[in-house]
Amino acid sequence: MQMSHRISGFQCSPIRRLVPYAREAKKRGIHVYHLNIGQPDIKTPAEALAALSSFPDDIIAYGSSEGRDDLRQAWAEYYNRFGVGITSDDILITTGGSEAIQFSFMTLCDPGDEIIIPEPYYTNVASFANIAMVTLVPVTSTMDECFVLPDIGEFEKRITPRTRGVLLCSPNNPTGHVYSPEELTALLEMCRRHDIFLIVDEVYREFCYDGKTFISVLAYPEYADRVICIDSFSKRFSMCGARIGALITRNKEVRDSALKLSQARLCPPEVEQYVACAAFRAPATYLEDVKKEYEKRRDFFVARLKKIPDIRVSEPLGAFYLVVEFPVDDAEKFAIFMLKDFSHDGSTTMFAPAEDFYVTKGIGRKQARLAYVLNTGDLAAAADCLEAGLAAYRKKYMS
């Protein structure tokens, strides 16, 4: 049977496409350290877990398309706690931040329109763009320059009559870069000059290190009509499987237009929204402790990786990812070798090859994204596997 031409252009996610190799390795009795996916090992707040068994209704019915009122109210209060004036009307609850990105593209863009994006970028955005038939136009940020925002002139050069906006992710997946207020305002100004939108994916907002305070794009009300913020419960409260996210904007036309998509898919998960509401009641220490834990892991893991001969490591300022450049011909080939042909003390390490985190082919071929979502003991063992595996791979294929 013939599949659509469209689907043949979609990628298999580099975060997940090597899973069959990992499954086979596990069948052979090998332990796999999963650094390929941003699945935290942190416990979901107790308040949320308790709410799982206290859902009050005896029918799990369709809810409203924009999301539960109590959750939208609690979400607005969360913003108000750090000085961002958002009302529940500004919040459209979505099935994960993923759906919020898709809704943004579908709402702002016609087929063939363009979104400018710094690369490397969160790879699944490629598929969201394909769904909306949007072209991603990359501006390359480099490891040499710690993945800072490229010059605004580089963005301006890429603006065409089809450009509808810029998508920024801060703190960034995969680089860990946190864009400074100066970088953000320069982009906002540029968007105003060219009358385009700025979508900022802030799902890692809480994880910003070295004593720095994260500034949300929503803290700039003077640009309110051209700003969309993507938010999510997945990482903040370690609730990836609950699929609760949000599209947040003060632009009523954007919200009302996106609501048509919300209505077509009926409603976001109802029980999970009830549970998410309870997560907001977790004490402030929950998020403080989670952030401390990731910062400790970042410090440990970056220092350990730097001891591996000939690899380059990015310096993440936030989120829980980093980019490494391996001294290999192809990071994907190396990743498959790690799962298929290698083990060290009965274990191996899985990571996400980074080539498909770029629109521009070739740049990321030697790079990988590593997620430091395991405790430091496991990260140490995962790094030992990487170091031994790299030596074995180079001996086999590169000497």
Ligand X SMILES: Cc1ncc(COP(=O)(O)O)c(C=O)c1O
Per-residue contact string for residues 212-251; x = within reach of ligand X by CB under 6 A: --------------------x-x-----x----x------
Residue of 201, 270, 272, 295 that binds ligand X (CB under 6 A): 201
Find the shortest distance in angstroms from Cβ 55 to ligand X. 21
Q: Which is nearer to ligand X, 240 or 336 (CB)?
A: 240
38 lies in the site for ligand X, by CB under 6 A: yes
Min dist. Cβ of residue 11 to ligand X (A): 15
Q: How many residues does the chain have?
A: 399
* Cα torsion 101, 65, 195, 110: sign: positive
In the complex, residue closest to ligand X by CB:
96
Examine residue 169 and tell whether it contacts ligand X (CB under 6 A).
yes
Nearest Cα residue to 34 out of 362, 366, 348, 315: 348
Helices (H) and strands (E) in the chain, counts: 13, 13
Contacts of 59 by beta carbon, 8 Å cutoff, 6+ apart: none
Stretch that binds ligand X, among 1-9, 40-48, 92-100, 345-353 (CB under 6 A): 92-100
Stretch that binds ligand X, among 96-104, 188-196, 328-336, 386-394 (CB under 6 A): 96-104
Give the count of residues interacting with ligand X (CB under 6 A). Answer: 13
Question: Does 123 interact with ligand X (rule: CB under 6 A)?
Answer: no
Largest Cα–Cα distance of the chain, in whole Å? Answer: 66
How many Cα atoms occupy the beta-carbon half-sphere of 8 within 13 Å? 4
170 binds ligand X (CB under 6 A): no
Nearer to ligand X, 231 or 355 (CB): 231
The count of other CB atoms within 10 Å of the CB of residue 189 is 12
User: Residue 36 interacts with ligand X (CB under 6 A)?
Assistant: no
Q: How far is the CB of 14 from ligand X (least distance, A)?
A: 13
323 to 362: interface string for ligand X, x by CB under 6 A: ----------------------------------------
Site for ligand X contains 135 (CB under 6 A): no
Nearer to ligand X, 168 or 390 (CB): 168
Residue closer to ligand X (CB basis): 25 or 279: 279
Identity of the residue numbered 364: G
Residue with Cβ nearer ligand X (234 or 349): 234
DSSP-H helix ranges across 219-269: 252-264
- 249-278 footprint of ligand X as x/- string (CB under 6 A): ------------------------------
3-state secondary structure 90-122: HEEEEEHHHHHHHHHHHHHCCCCCEEEEEECCC
**With binding defined as CB under 6 A, does residue 122 bind ligand X?**
yes
132: tokens are 């909306």
Binding residue for ligand X, selected from 36, 44, 88, 98, defined by CB under 6 A: 98
Our CB check for ligand X shows the closer of 38 and 118 to be 38
With vertex at residue 333, the alpha carbon angle to CA 331 and CA 334, rounded to the nearest 5 degrees, is: 60
Residue 304 or 369: which CB sits closer to ligand X? 369
The whole-angstrom separation of Cα 127 and Cα 135 is: 11
Q: Could you tell me if 204 and 319 are in contact, meaning their C-beta atoms sit under 8 angstroms apart?
A: yes
From the list 383, 348, 351, the residue with the least C-alpha distance to 14 is 351
- Residue whose entry in the numeric block shows the structure tokens 């690899």: 311
CB of 234 to ligand X, least distance (A): 3
Give the C-alpha separation, 247 to 75, whole Å.
Answer: 12
Neighbour count for residue 384 (Cβ, 10 Å): 17
Interacting residue ranges for ligand X, rule: CB under 6 A: 38, 96-98, 122, 169, 173, 201, 203, 232, 234, 240, 245
